[in-house]
Structures are given as C-alpha cells and as structure tokens.
Amino acid sequence: MTATTVRALRLADTAEAADLAAFLGRLIRYDRAAAVRLQAGGGAVAVFGRPPAFEVLAIRTARLRDAGAAEGTVEGRVEGPVELDVTVSAGELLEAIDELTGGIELPAAVTGPPWTGVLPPRGGWQRVPGLPGPAGLRQAVAAAVTEFRTRDEALPAAHRDRAERDRIGRDIWSRTVGGTGLPLRAVHAAQSVGFLRPMPEDAPVALLRAGAWMRLRTPYGSIAVRTGGTGGTGGIGGLSVTPT
C-alpha cells in the first residue's frame, strides 16, 4: 500500500470552519498545549480532544467539501479522497483554519499523549434510553454547579483546600444521569465545550453505548467516556456529522 501524505483539508462551508475553530479555542482555554487527533474519510473529518479534569473525549465532526476534499500526494500526484489519521497541536490547527474559505493547511504531526491511542470503537453502538432532553441536561449541570459552590462555601476555612474541593467534585460529578449510567461529568464537559448550547428541545440528542464506552451525541459534537471494562481503539466510524 502506497503511503499518502495529506497536506490540506477543505471543509464543506465556512460555518463548519467557524464551529471547528470555536471548538479548538475552547480546548486551548483549558490546556494551551493541547493536542488533537484527526481522522478523515467518507466525506467527513473527526477531531478528538481531551479537555483536562473531565476525563472524557470531546469529538467534533465536520463535513468535507467534496470527494477531493482531502488533498494528498501519492508519488507526486494529487488524489482524493484520502484517508487521514494524525495527531497535531490544537493551537497550530486553530491557526491553520481559514474561516473565510473553509480550508485547513495541516500543521506538522506531533507525538500525542497516551489518550490519543485509545479512541471509542468504530461500530456496535446501541441507543441507551432515559436520557433527558437538552434543557434537562443543562439543568442537571446547573444544579450540580450550585451544589458544589454551596458545599465549598460551607467548608471551614481550615478545610477549604484543593484536596477537599476535589473530593466534593468527585462526589458530585461521578453521579450518573438518571438510570442511564452516564457520569454527570460527561454532561458538564459537553456544556463546557459548547455541545449543549441552546437548541430545540426535540434536537437529536442521544446516549449510545458500545462495550465499555458511552457517547453523548448532540448536533454540535459528542462526548465519549469510558465507563469500565474493555474496549478497543477506534475512531471516526459511527460518528454522525450534522451541519451547524
């Protein structure tokens, strides 16, 4: 098999480029040195990131413009479509996005952190019932944040330290959403990276499970969390791409 070096991507439209840029900006806000893993194929690109503290993967997908949307060189010729799987700096990728044209000149690959080698599985996802609608999910996060602040303020001054605050946080964010088994921290992560921003109550928000993984899917992106057991590496397969 001939090796292909992908040099650029062309997103379907400028709205896709702007939303991907906003997603990368939120990741960098949490970690200036963040890395992301990109996978492209089948007319779409998926960008995987890991916002610190949440212990989840945030996944933003975007449509590619056409069959030649991934540009690569094979023995000096430009051909497409081209499969892509590379880890890059989130900051450099953000700087490479041209929001006026939807083009992305890909930055150089980097050695990724350990999480980049363990992605959700490609297939086998089954819907999990019982997930609240978008408003209910946002309300659950708001209630948890309020509880955290109340418990933190109630701590004696001598005990208001990082260790105690972490203990309160673990207690609150490890709770599950209803009977779904989805940790509340995954919903918090979805809101923090912009995946739960205002949307119709009948928006296609769903909870899926595949082996040890659960995935909260919204029109703006997905949050995947490993809940225990075993699970293989995977990636773009099975991810929906919804225009924004």
Q: Please, which residues bridge with residue 222 across strands?
A: 59, 217
Q: In terms of pLDDT, which residue wins out, 157 or 191?
A: 191
Tens-digit pLDDT profile for residues 187-219? 999 999 999 998 888 888 999 999 999 999 999
Read off the pLDDT of each residue in 35-40 and give the average, rounded to a whole number. 94
Tens-digit pLDDT profile for residues 45-71? 999 999 988 899 999 999 998 644 555
Give domain status of residue 193, yes or no.
Answer: no
Give domain status of residue 138, yes or no.
Answer: no
Give domain status of residue 177, yes or no.
Answer: no
Q: In this predicted structure, what is the pLDDT of residue 7?
A: 86
Give domain status of residue 204, yes or no.
Answer: yes
Give domain status of residue 172, yes or no.
Answer: no
Q: In this predicted structure, what is the pLDDT of residue 200?
A: 85
Residue position matching structure tokens 């992305």: 104
The CATH number for 107's domain is 3.10.150
Tens-digit pLDDT profile for residues 76-128? 333 344 478 999 999 999 999 999 999 999 999 999 899 999 999 988 999 99
Q: Tally the domains of the chain.
A: 1
Give domain status of residue 151, yes or no.
Answer: no
Read off the pLDDT of each residue in 31-36 and give the average, rounded to a whole number. 95
**Domain range enclosing 89:** 1-128+199-244
Give domain status of residue 12, yes or no.
Answer: yes
pLDDT band of 1, cuts 50, 70, 90: very low
pLDDT band of 227, cuts 50, 70, 90: confident
Give domain status of residue 108, yes or no.
Answer: yes
